[in-house]
Amino acid sequence: MWSYQAPLRDMQFVLEHWLQAPEAWRRSPVFEALDLPLAVQVLKEAGRFSSG
């Protein structure tokens, strides 16, 4: 049986450095409560869910 491990470090790098998402979130009233630590926690939990 195969196992999946989400590439969390890669996802965080893309969000933070390539997309510069935290700056965009700060400028948007819809996402003003979202920050990088929260997004990383969501990614971790999604990774746990997808790995079974």
Look at the alpha carbons of 39, 42, 47, 50 in this order and tell me if their dihedral is positive or negative.
negative
Residues 11 and 14: their CA atoms lie apart, in Å, by: 5
CB neighbours of residue 38 within 10 Å? 11
User: Distance between CA 52 and CA 24 in Å, rounded?
Assistant: 32
User: Has residue 52 got a pLDDT over 90?
Assistant: no
Residues 4 and 50: beta-carbon distance below 8 Å: yes
The reported pLDDT for the residue numbered 51 is 87
User: What pLDDT, on the 0 to 100 scale, is given for residue 43?
Assistant: 95
Q: Whole-prediction pTM value?
A: 0.80
* Nearest to 14, CA basis, from 2, 4, 5, 6: 6
For 4-40, the pLDDT digits (tens) are 889 999 999 999 999 999 999 999 999 989 999 999 9
Enumerate the domain spans of the chain.
19-50
pLDDT at residue 1 in the model: 67
